[in-house]
Chain A
């Protein structure tokens, strides 16, 4: 009979080590030492995992443990006794399998990021009652007012009503009565410059600067409002909220115990990419309304040209710097302009 493995046995009650010899016989581990002869079912033992170095410690039921300071000797012995490694342990000890795990991880993350998060957000938002959207929208609007980002509009009531009526008529021509979104158009003077926002719950905010920018072009204004309706119809702001939370939670799981700041980075970057997708979807709704009203989508090019001119002017005047414009919107504007132009050509060919 081959000599067993030399190890230390601790009974779990005292810190005194007992020198023992280990051997596996018929599914039982025999632990033999000074005034000690134990037989323990192999299956009941919490065996250590194979590693490249270090000690090996096995846990017995009832608090006892076995320690072996030579990992190499333990691993060789375990192999001889027919105690195999699990697949996880083999993967942990092989660079080839670890690299495979990296590839699988990247594939899973990409799939999760591209499809998983948006789909999950859509499902979750569908479960949220629409009343919650309205409540969140109110909170956002209150915050905008409290922080004086928006102030009462200086646009005359007649002009506001003219835009409301024109838009209601255009919406009536675009969507059938059952599918028609509710309209809550509000005008505000704002430090945001020429802009329009869709709040959760369906309120659309149009800034005075936007009204002034498009005072002579009602057709372009309709396109802008239809874009915001697109956000409202698909509950984009609620989905964005859920997406940020999901990405943040997952990133926190991976890196959270290292750095909370780092864990926040993927969420922010991810949201920037998703919001581009939302913009595309909203632009599609805009194109739909323009076409239904016999307006060429090409008129939207005017919006982007005027917005760019305005932002250049503001950049020269204002002393603050605009993170949003610096980071993402310029290349995206080009892309969106091309989409409207392509839609216009498609439309004319179909006609």
Chain B
């Protein structure tokens, strides 16, 4: 085994570099073979394909020279996928029968969402290991409900609004209609403005309960930066739209746009690029914000993902994925993982070896058992 690539720093602090060694060519072959198997088995092979993919990405992620490992068993995950698939089918079918059935199904599914998220977080971490040590998700199911409870407010606002505007009124000139017309945009705006707060509550739950051995993480961050970030992302979206969509459309003139299929296609293409730019900006800033503020007693993370190179990568990926009808996607996925992971360093306040010898896994492995029982895996 190689010696741990720890760079001793001042005092007793050690920095562990993250490296990603996956290759686009190899992942392309894995992806295509597993996609074929998934399609010809009508989706039943999906858990096996997913385990391969996770093992490939984990196994090529080296933290201080040691690869991560994924231990999930496809057979157990199949149950979770079938359960999740049944829920999705039920929900989409109910919505088509009647709005009432759709509403009931929505409430039923929504009341399960926190439990599903908790199970998924637990499963993913309990099945991830570093140096033979399983990680843990220390959050409770009650914590998941508390973290997501606040989301009820904007959802109730939007559902109530939809219900009010959908209910028939006998007299179209009735005052409630006018009041509704004024109130509707305000309610939507209010619901939207609450989104960063919801997001912060969830991330505080997620990043506040990552555990390895004795160490347990905390997210040292209030909701403020999330609001600031959401304004910046909205600004980037507006600027990119002006430059790539609205601007060109006005320049060409709406008169000339009509009837010219290629102009419309270019505008749709431009819109996808706008999404790539604002999405990449949001992702890079959010990763830095979250991971640079996630720490346990002796472990800290630093993320220095630069926005511009990441946006450039996202644009290249989007263009090539579209031009190759999706076949570039494995290359895009590995390149993205490399840039995102290698921007992160882990700072230890003790030597990694010393920490390694004192870490003991809880003999009570309830976490793993629960994770295995559910076998629910949702990508984060």
Contacts and interface: CB of A to CB of B under 8 A. Distances in A.
B32 A12 contact: no
B319 to A, nearest CB: 12
B261 to A, nearest CB: 6
Prevailing SS type, chain B contact patch: helix
A44 to B, nearest CB: 13
Given A52-B23, A65-B132, A321 B259 contact: yes
Interface of A: 8, 10-17, 19, 48-49, 51-55, 57, 59, 63-65, 67, 69, 88, 91-95, 97-98, 101-102, 104-105, 108-109, 112, 132, 135-136, 139, 241, 245, 250, 253-255, 257-259, 261-262, 315, 319, 321-323, 325-327
B361 A12 contact: yes
B69 interface: yes
A17 B37 contact: no
Given A12-B132, A69-B1, A326-B260, A53 B23 contact: yes
Contacts of B39: 105, 108-109, 112, 250, 254
Contacts of B69: 57, 59, 65
Contact of B132 (A10, A104, A136, A250): A10
Contact of A98 (B29, B134, B260, B329): B29
Given A92-B34, A258-B329, 17 more contacts: A13-B360, A14-B356, A14-B359, A15-B356, A52-B23, A63-B361, A69-B2, A98-B29, A105-B35, A241-B96, A250-B39, A253-B43, A253-B46, A254-B35, A262-B321, A319-B254, A321-B259
B272 A261 contact: yes
Given A52-B23, A54-B60, A15 B355 contact: yes
B357 interface: yes
Interface string B327-359: 101001100000000000000000000011101
A104 B98 CA distance: 40
B30 A19 contact: no
Interface in B90-127: 92, 96-99
A235 to B, nearest CB: 14
A97 B326 CA distance: 19
A327 B267 CA distance: 14
B289 to A, nearest CB: 22
B374 interface: no
Contacts of B28: 98
A47 to B, nearest CB: 12
Nearest to B21: A54
B322 A262 contact: yes
A261 B2 contact: no
Nearest to B4: A17
Interface in B222-240: none
A218 to B, nearest CB: 32
B335 to A, nearest CB: 12
A98 B275 CA distance: 31
B175 interface: no
A259 B332 CA distance: 12
A307 to B, nearest CB: 15
A14 B133 CA distance: 6
A51 B133 CA distance: 23
Contacts of A135: 97-98
Given A15-B359, A258-B329, A323-B264, A95 B23 contact: no
Contacts of A14: 132-133, 356-357, 359-361
Interface string B267-279: 0000010010000
Contact of A12 (B21, B134, B326): B134
B379 interface: yes
- Interface-central residue, A64, A67, A93, by most chain B CB under 10 Å: A67
A92 B40 CA distance: 17
B83 interface: no
B26 interface: yes
B36 A108 contact: yes
Given A16-B357, A102-B32, A52 B259 contact: no
B103 to A, nearest CB: 14
A55 B26 contact: no
Contacts of A241: 96
B356 A92 contact: no
B257 interface: yes
A125 to B, nearest CB: 12
A65 B130 CA distance: 11
A91 B36 CA distance: 11
A91 B33 contact: yes
Contacts of B356: 14-16
A17 B353 CA distance: 10
Given A15-B357, A53-B21, A258 B2 contact: no
Contacts of B359: 14-15
Contacts of A102: 32, 327
B59 interface: yes
20 contacts: A12-B361, A14-B132, A14-B133, A15-B133, A49-B52, A51-B56, A54-B22, A57-B69, A69-B2, A88-B33, A88-B37, A98-B33, A101-B36, A108-B36, A112-B39, A254-B35, A258-B329, A261-B275, A321-B258, A327-B261
Contacts of B34: 88, 92
A8 to B, nearest CB: 5
Interface string B367-380: 00000000000010
